[in-house]
Structure formats: structure tokens, C-alpha cells
């Protein structure tokens, strides 16, 4: 793999911040974008910008084809059974809200939803809202001593016959990985629906819906080298068809009169209003970009780099790593002594290093760690050893300054 030429395709990475080259270790928050994505979006606006699905004219039909082609690309990317199972959203958050809102009519007082303790708020708060509206209970699935999902606790909770289990595939805060295939199989055996938050997975590994065995899968374009403002909800056709639409209005209807409205078929039924057309096209370019890479080699590259990062960071006296397992993906979480994570972030920033500091939209998890927040360094396919070395050197300088 020619990693240098891959990295060269990300223009934002080729910049200096004062005396330092940019060391971008915040890919879990949002990834940088390759030229292919930037060019696809610009070309759409320059040459065939029009609204989709609505007009007979040539530009609109080109825009519609380009938009719908991305749905087909996603069928292939996700191993979906049919194109109607792909719903464009504005991101993971909207995708999960779409399901949690859409299922309200199917939940009753006393029903149970299980949520991964490491879940991002986007995969917790919508279930709490559903619970508030229906009297359903939401319970956390605990973590074991290694801060991985506790399989024994999970089994005990499954015995209570939950109606739905919401899991993250990869924790955005820790980088820990859930065995989705096994967890979904267990949940299904107990009659539960499953929703998987794949926001931190799709950029790092190929995913296949048939193999994972979940019922719903959500992710964002901007974390997988695509643009912001677009995400995807995949769901089993019958389950998607049973969702009450979150948004209603144009595009999603079959017939409308003042007396009544009949909703249209999937996927339009769940895509009310003008969709993020250029962003969908940008996402299509990101998928094409990823699919033309040697993904196996990239996974090995990222795994090697993450392990190197974990080792080098752990060797700095005063550093505390959280759940830094060798099989983690994409991110390492840490604190330094009793220093506030934001202070570390500011000191690193002064040396050109971008990391994320805070609760990582996982406050319940921070509670389990016994901290208010932490720093997180996260990697993408473009990250290299020079990034890690610059970060480690900057962290050592912080340590010297603060001790």
C-alpha cells in the first residue's frame, strides 16, 4: 500500500499550524475528506444541481439518478437485501431518532429496552424519549472489569424479554468493539429487535448487514470520509415499513387531500422534504473511495498504529489509559494525572495536535469510569506514524510542563 499517496488525497491534512504540521487525531469526531468527495460535490453544484424526484427536466433527472445511484452503492456497501432498505438521513442521530420515534406505537408501559452502557447519547436519549412517551423502561447493559459489554449481565437482562436492544459497534469514547454478530443473535433468540450504531465502525471495517444480523443499522457520512449533513439508516424492509414517519410533508406521500393523506412507499416514506442531495452524492464518492482501497491493508495499518499509540502513551508517567485493549478500533481515551482534560487539549493544540476532550457524548460511561471527561486521540486511514510521534512528543512536553 502506498500510504503517502493515499494521505496526499486529503488536502486539509497538508497544513501547518504555526510552527507545527497539523496532527489531526480527531477523526472519530469527524474525518477529513478526500479530493474525490470534494470534487464530486463541487461538480454536482457546478453541472447538474437540481432538486430530485420532482421535475421532468434533464437536470433534475440527472440529479435524481446521481442521488439514487448512491442508494444502489449502499446496497452493495452494506450487503443489503434491497434498495428500499436504505434511508438517507442527516446523520446517525437522525437515523436513531427516526427508529425510536417510528416505533412508539409498538411499545407499551412495562416494555423494556436495553442500551449499551458505552452508548453515545444519540443511541440513548431517543430511547429515553420513547420511554417517556410510552411508559417503557430503559436499562443499561453493564460493563465488565475490562470495560467491555458484560455478557453475563446481558444474558440476565435478556431473560427479562426486552423488546429492543440498542448497541454500539465501536465505542466512540473508548474504541472498544462489541461482537455485534453474537450479541444480535442472542437478542434475536430472546425475541428482541436490535439497533446498531455503526457511526464509529463503517470507516474502519467492512460491514455486512446479513452477517451482522441486526434489524437496524445507523451511521453518518462525515465519519467515513464523506460530508457532514448526511447519514444512513438501514433496516429490514418489514420493520422499516412499520415505522411511523418522524417527518411528514413533501416527497413522502402518495395522495394528499384536506381530509386525509396517504403516505408513500419506502424509501420515500421516510425521506420527507428535499434531501441533502449534494451530500448524498459526496457520500457516494466516499463509498467509491473506500471501496477502491485495499481495506484489509488499511485495517492492518490502523490496528498497528493504534497499538503503537497505546504503547507509547502508556509509557508516559502519569498517563492513565481507559480500556486500551489491543483489539480496539480507532481511538484511545486517556487522562494525565489530576489535570483537567481540557487543559491537556489546549496544550496539545498549541503544538499542532488536535484531540477531543470532554465527555464524548457518553456521560453515563464517564460516570462508570469515575471521571467527568477525558482526552481522546482517534485515527483514520490517513493517520501515520509521524502523527503519533508528534502527538507523543507533544504529550511529553505537556507532562514536563505540568509536573
Ligand X SMILES: Cc1ncc(COP(=O)(O)O)c(C=O)c1O
Sole window of 136-144, 154-162, 196-204, 321-329 interacting with ligand X (rule: CB under 6 A): 196-204
Sole window of 91-99, 233-241, 299-307, 329-337 interacting with ligand X (rule: CB under 6 A): 91-99
398 flagged as catalytic: no
Sole window of 115-123, 138-146, 277-285, 297-305 interacting with ligand X (rule: CB under 6 A): 115-123
SS (H, E, C) the chain: CCHHHHHCCCHHHCCEECCEECEECECCCCCCCCHHHHHHHHHHHHHCCCCCCCCCCHHHHHHHHHHHHHHHHHHHHHCCCCHHHEEEECCHHHHHHHHHHHCHHHCCCCCEEEEECCCCHHHCHHHHHHHHHHCCEEEEECECCCCCECHHHHHHHHCCCCCEEEEECECCCCCCECCHHHHHHHHHHCCCEEEEECCCCCCCCCCCHHHHCCCEEEEEHHHCCCCCCCEEEEECHHHHHCCCCCCCCCCCEEEECCCCEEECCCCHHHCCCCCCHHHHHHHHHHHHHHHCCCHHHHHHHHHHHHHHHHHHHHCCCCEEEECCCCCCCCEEEEEECCCCHHHHHHHHHCCCEECEEECCCCHHHHHHHCCCCEEEEECCCCCCHHHHHHHHHHHHHHHHHHC
Q: Which of 197, 215, 302, 387 binds ligand X (CB under 6 A)?
A: 197
52 lies in the site for ligand X, by CB under 6 A: no
Q: Which of 41, 63, 75, 122 binds ligand X (CB under 6 A)?
A: 122
Q: Which of 92, 134, 351, 378 binds ligand X (CB under 6 A)?
A: 92
Q: Which residue has the cell 442521488?
A: 67
In the shown chain, the binding pattern of residues 278 to 317 toward ligand X, with x for contact by CB under 6 A and - for none, equals ----------------------------------------
> Which member of 23, 357, 361, 375 is catalytic?
361
Shortest distance (Å) from residue 56 CB to ligand X: 35
Instruction: Count the site residues for ligand X by CB under 6 A.
Output: 13
Q: Which of 27, 220, 268, 335 binds ligand X (CB under 6 A)?
A: 220
172 lies in the site for ligand X, by CB under 6 A: yes
Residue 32 vs 123, nearer CB to ligand X = 123
Of 350-389, binders to ligand X (CB under 6 A) are: 361
Residue 48 vs 376, nearer CB to ligand X = 376
116 lies in the site for ligand X, by CB under 6 A: no
120 lies in the site for ligand X, by CB under 6 A: yes
37 lies in the site for ligand X, by CB under 6 A: no
200 lies in the site for ligand X, by CB under 6 A: yes
27 lies in the site for ligand X, by CB under 6 A: no
Q: Which residue has the cell 452493495?
A: 76
97 lies in the site for ligand X, by CB under 6 A: no
Residues of this chain that bind ligand X (CB under 6 A): 91-93, 120, 122-123, 168, 172, 197, 199-200, 220, 361
- So which residues are the catalytic ones? 361
Amino acid at each position: 500500500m502506498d500510504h503517502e499517496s493515499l494521505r496526499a488525497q486529503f488536502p486539509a491534512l497538508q497544513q501547518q499550524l504555526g510552527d507545527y504540521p497539523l496532527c489531526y487525531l480527531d477523526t472519530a469526531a469527524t474525518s477529513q475528506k478526500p479530493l474525490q468527495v470534494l470534487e464530486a460535490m463541487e461538480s454536482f453544484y457546478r453541472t447538474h444541481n437540481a432538486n430530485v424526484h420532482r421535475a421532468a427536466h434533464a437536470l433534475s433527472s440527472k440529479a435524481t439518478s446521481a442521488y439514487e445511484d448512491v442508494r444502489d452503492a449502499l446496497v452493495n456497501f452494506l450487503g443489503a437485501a434491497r434498495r428500499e432498505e436504505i434511508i438517507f438521513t442527516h446523520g446517525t442521530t437522525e437515523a436513531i431518532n427516526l427508529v425510536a420515534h417510528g416505533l412508539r406505537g409498538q411499545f407499551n408501559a412495562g416494555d423494556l429496552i436495553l442500551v449499551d452502557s458505552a452508548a453515545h447519547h444519540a443511541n440513548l436519549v431517543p430511547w429515553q424519549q420513547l420511554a417517556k412517551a410510552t411508559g417503557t423502561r430503559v436499562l443499561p447493559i453493564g460493563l465488565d472489569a475490562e470495560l467491555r459489554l458484560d455478557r453475563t449481565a446481558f444474558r440476565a437482562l435478556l431473560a427479562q424479554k426486552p423488546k429492543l436492544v440498542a448497541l454500539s459497534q465501536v465505542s466512540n469514547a473508548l474504541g472498544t468493539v462489541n461482537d455485534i454478530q453474537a450479541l444480535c443473535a442472542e437478542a434475536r433468540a430472546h425475541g428482541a429487535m436490535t439497533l446498531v450504531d455503526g457511526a464509529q465502525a463503517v470507516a474502519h471495517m467492512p460491514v455486512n448487514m446479513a452477517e451482522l444480523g441486526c434489524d437496524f443499522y445507523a451511521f453518518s457520512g462525515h465519519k467515513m470520509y464523506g460530508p457532514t449533513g448526511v447519514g444512513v439508516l438501514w433496516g429490514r424492509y418489514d420493520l422499516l415499513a412499520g415505522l411511523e414517519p418522524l417527518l411528514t410533508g413533501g416527497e413522502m406521500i402518495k395522495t394528499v387531500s384536506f381530509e386525509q393523506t396517504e403516505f408513500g412507499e419506502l424509501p420515500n416514506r421516510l425521506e420527507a422534504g428535499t434531501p441533502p442531495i449534494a451530500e448524498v452524492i459526496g457520500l457516494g464518492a466516499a463509498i467509491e473511495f473506500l471501496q477502491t482501497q485495499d481495506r484489509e491493508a488499511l485495517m492492518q495499518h490502523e490496528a498497528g498504529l493504534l497499538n503503537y499509540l497505546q504503547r507509547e502513551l502508556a509509557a508516559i508517567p502519569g498517563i492513565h489509559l481507559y480500556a486500551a485493549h489491543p483489539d480496539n478500533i480507532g481511538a484511545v481515551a486517556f487522562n494525565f494525572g489530576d489535570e483537567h482534560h481540557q487543559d491537556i487539549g489546549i496544550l496539545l493544540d498549541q503544538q499542532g495536535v488536535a484531540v477531543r476532550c470532554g465527555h464524548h457524548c457518553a456521560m453515563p460511561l464517564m460516570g462508570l469510569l469515575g471521571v467527568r471527561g477525558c482526552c481522546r486521540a482517534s485515527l483514520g486511514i490517513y493517520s501515520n506514524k509521524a502523527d503519533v510521534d508528534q502527538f507523543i512528543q507533544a504529550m511529553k512536553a505537556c507532562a514536563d510542563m505540568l509536573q
